[in-house]
Chains A and B, each alone.
Chain A
Amino acid sequence: MLLHRACVIALAGILAGAFHSAVGPKLVLRPEDQFPAPQPRMTNGAAEASSAAAAPATLGLDISLADAAALFEQGAAFIDARRREEYEAGHVENAFWLPADQLTGGRPAALDYLDAEAPLVIYCGGGDCDASHNTAALLQQLGYKRTHVMKDGFPAWRDAGKPVATGAPVYESGGR
């Protein structure tokens, strides 16, 4: 009798567990499975980017706002080289945050998303801000050959009414 009742209790637990498992959230067995792997490339959302298209080879290192806007339309990745507070207060929509000092330490997370064959547009605060050139130089050393600097910087982009966003870099939390 005692054993029968004990088995009933255990069975009730197993059945309740089976039901809960079926209706509950899907569980993973390893913490790293909770977040999807980063996509190899993130576009800026304006267009499906392809490394074959985009900037004509004749575009030099420093590019104008108009050329940068054209690259944006084609989905080129933008990189913000300023300080984090400046990035969070406002940046080009979907831009990556990558100041030069992140490239001198270990490998920053942003690099997982940047395609070495595709054009990259780096900017900072405009005027005599040289952070963008520093980041560009470091990226070129890492093999990103098609780097460009939007020399008029973020203020010009914003004042021209181009797409902007605020907040922390989205890829830091392991992706959307």
Chain B
Amino acid sequence: MGQGALSNTTARGALCMTMRFLLGAAFLAAGILKLSDPQGFAFAVKGFRVLPDHLVIPATYAIPWTEVFAGVLLLLGLWSRAAALVLSAMLAGFIAGLASVILRKMDVSCACFGDLQFPCGHSVGWCQIIRNVVMLGMAAPVLLWGPGAMALERPCRRGACGCAGSPAGVSASA
């Protein structure tokens, strides 16, 4: 990543990079917060009643660790599209789980970001679904177009730092 890295960035490159950073940071934080209170997250997973009991505790640990790995990959810009795919799949699953809770009129606490209320409250409602849809929207550019600027897997060379294409990177269009 040379001096000219950012100055050569296309608009699309900047978009992908930004989404990557935001999403990566959000999921890394969410994963760490969940791992800091596994019992709390276990209650939430059980409360959703979408998984059979014997899968609740495996999910309690697997979900946040996957979030952490994907988040770190996004922040570094390694395997970015794959990480975005994983997070998109998880977000789709979360949306399905949240919708199921709402439709069954259950009163459950989300524990999506541990104890943090960001920006939604604890109780499952439309806020979390909308938030997840927004995050899906943020993952889409990365999934479709790649990591953008300042990514380890696509060091910017003298060419433009577009999102897609070879590192010689000539996305002439913005």
**A-B pairs under 8 A by CB, number:** 83
| CA A14 to CA B63, docked complex, whole Å | 8
- Cβ-based interface call for B171 (8 A): no
- Cβ-based interface call for A160 (8 A): no
Quick check: A12 and B69 within 8 Å, CB to CB?
A: yes
Number of interface residues of B (CB under 8 A): 29
Output the least CB separation between B28 and chain A (Å): 13
Instruction: Choose among B56, B57, B65, B81 the residue that contacts A13 (Cβ–Cβ < 8 A).
Output: B65
Chain A, interface size: which category?
20 to 34
Q: Which residue of A lies closest to B80 (CB)?
A: A5
Quick check: A18 and B66 within 8 Å, CB to CB?
A: no
| CA A30 to CA B43, docked complex, whole Å | 7
Quick check: A14 and B66 within 8 Å, CB to CB?
A: yes
Quick check: B83 and A9 within 8 Å, CB to CB?
A: yes
* Contact flag A17-B61 (CB < 8 Å), given A5-B79, A27-B42, A29-B42: yes
| CA A31 to CA B39, docked complex, whole Å | 9
For window 35-69 of B, CB contacts with A under 8 Å fall at 35, 38-39, 42-43, 46, 53, 56-58, 60-69
Quick check: A13 and B69 within 8 Å, CB to CB?
A: yes
Quick check: B85 and A2 within 8 Å, CB to CB?
A: yes
Residues of A within 8 A of B43 (CB): 29-31
- Cβ-based interface call for B11 (8 A): no
Output the least CB separation between B100 and chain A (Å): 19
* Contact flag A9-B62 (CB < 8 Å), given A25-B38, A27-B39, A29-B42: no
- Cβ-based interface call for A102 (8 A): no
Chain A interface helix/strand/loop/mixed: helix
Output the least CB separation between A21 and chain B (Å): 5
Quick check: B58 and A17 within 8 Å, CB to CB?
A: yes
Chain B interface helix/strand/loop/mixed: helix
- Cβ-based interface call for A16 (8 A): yes
For window 1-54 of A, CB contacts with B under 8 Å fall at 2-3, 5-6, 8-10, 12-14, 16-18, 20-21, 24-25, 27-31, 34
Output the least CB separation between A27 and chain B (Å): 5
Output the least CB separation between B86 and chain A (Å): 5
Residues of A within 8 A of B66 (CB): 9-10, 12-14, 17
| CA A87 to CA B26, docked complex, whole Å | 50
Quick check: B38 and A18 within 8 Å, CB to CB?
A: no
Residues of A within 8 A of B38 (CB): 20, 24-25, 27
Quick check: B39 and A25 within 8 Å, CB to CB?
A: yes
Residues of B within 8 A of A21 (CB): 57-58, 60-61
Q: Which residue of A lies closest to B62 (CB)?
A: A17
| CA A16 to CA B32, docked complex, whole Å | 13
Could you jot down 17 A-B contacts, CB within 8 Å?
Answer: A6-B83, A8-B82, A9-B73, A9-B82, A9-B83, A9-B86, A12-B66, A17-B64, A17-B65, A18-B58, A18-B61, A27-B39, A27-B60, A28-B42, A29-B56, A30-B46, A34-B39
